[in-house]
Amino acid sequence: MSEFAPSTPAPASSLRRLPKSPSLGATGFLVVFLAPSLVLFTTLVILPMIQAGWYSFFDWNGYGVPENFVGLRNFQQLFGSSVFLTALRNNGLIIAVSVVLQIPLALWLATLVSRRFAGAVFFRAVFFLPFVLADVAAGIIWSFIYDGNYGLVASLGHALGFDPPFLLADKQWAIYAVLVVIVWKYFGFHMMLFIAGLQGISPDYHEAAEIDGASRRQRFLHITLPLLKPTIALSVFFSVLGALQTFDVIMPLTQGGPANSTQSMVSFLYLFGISRMKIGFGSAVGVVLFLMCATFAFAYKKMVLKDE
């Protein structure tokens, strides 16, 4: 036989079977990848929530083991407090301004800077810059702007020939000064959401409507707005939850003053609970705030974001 003749293949039965590589399976992957996250979430979120709920039934200063059980007295004191009711009103006002003023402003600016023109990227960066700035830093900057002695408001007042107002020291106007800062601080975030939504809309819709003779206003009302509905719903969701948790901007501006006129629920929790070592009372505030946020989140998800 020639040495170049092809060799006869070995029978299949004589081939060595290669060992199968071990497979975790779906359950294994869930255990491996979800277990660390579940441990962290339980340790840092679930357990503190349960502890806060438990502490809210005690008159406790944070030291030792809570022993003075008072039942619902902390909640009774909470809803009987005029300062807390003011904080609730302020949070409601922040929600209203965020939804009625901040979101339309962000949408309007998004429609302007989402187009292709020279300097569009620059204007996007400028409008988004306040959101990148830390909340505490923004509050400190605006506290100098509002200062009636040497701030920007004082300079404008002197230039126009009238005595500059001390807005942050006025019980009636301080909360509105805070609202201006909140709108300035967060509208850029919502603007970027709307820009992303606008860029996801095919230009063919607008071109077809323009050929049919639709005006810019008609194209906006009948094409842009309906297609932006999921983005608008998400923006409202973020606005309401963010408004309920307002804290970092208020503290460097007013610390809840003057005369508690600018308190929010979180600043009330900090100043009347943690700072005064009334951990049980502060926990009751935290429980109420959590229930409000959770109720809104689940209700909004079920009624508005159910198809998203």
Q: Average the pLDDT over each of 64-78, 99-113, 208-222, 285-299 and give the range with the smallest value.
A: 208-222
For 79-125, write each residue's pLDDT tens digit.
999 999 999 999 999 999 999 999 999 999 999 888 777 788 888 99
Average pLDDT over residues 200-204: 87
Residue with tokens 């900057």: 141
pLDDT at 68 over 80: yes
Compute φ and ψ for 58, nearest 5 degrees: -125, 155
Q: Are 111 and 232 in contact (CB under 8 A)?
A: no
What pairs with residue 58 in β-bridges?
A: 69
- Residue 154 is predicted with a pLDDT of 83
- Residue 155 is predicted with a pLDDT of 84
How far apart (Å, rounded) are the C-alpha atoms in residues 285 and 272? 10
DSSP 13: G
Q: What is the CA radius of gyration of the chain?
A: 29
Looking at domain 73-284, its CATH class is mainly alpha
If pLDDT is split at 50, 70 and 90, which confidence band does 156 have?
confident
Average pLDDT over residues 40-46: 88
> Average model confidence (pLDDT) for the chain?
87
Q: Are 107 and 127 in contact (CB under 8 A)?
A: no
Domain residue limits, the chain: 73-284
Whole-model pTM: value is: 0.85
How far apart (Å, rounded) are the C-alpha atoms in residues 307 and 229? 11
What pairs with residue 69 in β-bridges?
A: 58
pLDDT at 13 over 80: no
Report the percentage of the chain scoring pLDDT > 70.
Answer: 91
pLDDT at 45 over 90: no
Q: Which residue did the predictor score with more confidence, 242 or 4?
A: 242
